[in-house]
Amino acid sequence: MTDLNEEEINARANEKAKKRKAAREKMLADKTREKGLLIVHTGKGKGKSTAAFGLVFRALGNGMKVGIVQFVKGKWETGERHALEKFADQVTIKAMGEGFTWDTQDRARDIAAARGAWDMAKQMIDACRGEDRPYDMILLDELNIVLRYDYLPLEEVVEFLNGRPEMLHVIVTGRNAKQELIDAADLVTEMTQVKHPFREQNVKAQLGIEF
């Protein structure tokens, strides 16, 4: 390996950076289209809803309006819900779940809760079909969970989401996303679990981390 002095190393690095910038600008030159995205966060790793709420706060910071329907965590008191209460003029939260299926131990009740949450989600999305739309982004938190247990007809959900208003962003979270929903989505992120303190250290769910 040829020894280079600091000036030569900097010159070579600057030349590489210049080429990277040119390549980046070329790649972005034809990326001019805008559309409402169907975004799916899935996988066994932690962070699906966390990342989705990150997008919610980013949208709020840009003056956008957001609707949120929580399909499972209705009974949970979460930090994000308390924080979002400070943006009452920009965000609407409907926490309609009754907990995880092992909490209720009542399938019929779970299905009824899922249907009620889905009806609310459809109302929010349908309200955005006019010019004066109330939301720019809608988060359907843990929708994948109720689809996993067949509490809602998958075909109905995918068809409705495919027909969403053109400039409306919709985010769906939850592990085990159905392939049909993945195929319909514009952006899919799979959270991969590498380590988790719950499994490996017997650490319980903690304030500020899980809720």
User: In which residue ranges of the chain is pLDDT below 70?
Assistant: 1-2, 74-76, 98-104
Question: What is the pLDDT at residue 120?
Answer: 97
SS3 153: coil
Question: What is the pLDDT at residue 98?
Answer: 65
Residue 23 has a CB neighbour count (10 Å cut-off) of 10
Question: What is the pLDDT at residue 2?
Answer: 67
Question: What is the pLDDT at residue 143?
Answer: 97
Q: State residue 204 phi and psi, 5-degree precision.
A: -75, 170
Question: What is the pLDDT at residue 100?
Answer: 52
Residue 39's H or E segment, with its range, is strand 38-42
| Cα angle value 205/209/211 (rounded, 5°) | 70
Which residues does 25 contact at the CB level (< 8 Å), separation at least 6?
Answer: none
Q: How far apart are CA 188 and CA 75, in angstroms?
A: 28
Q: Which of 26, 43, 77, 9 is nearest to 172 (CA)?
A: 43
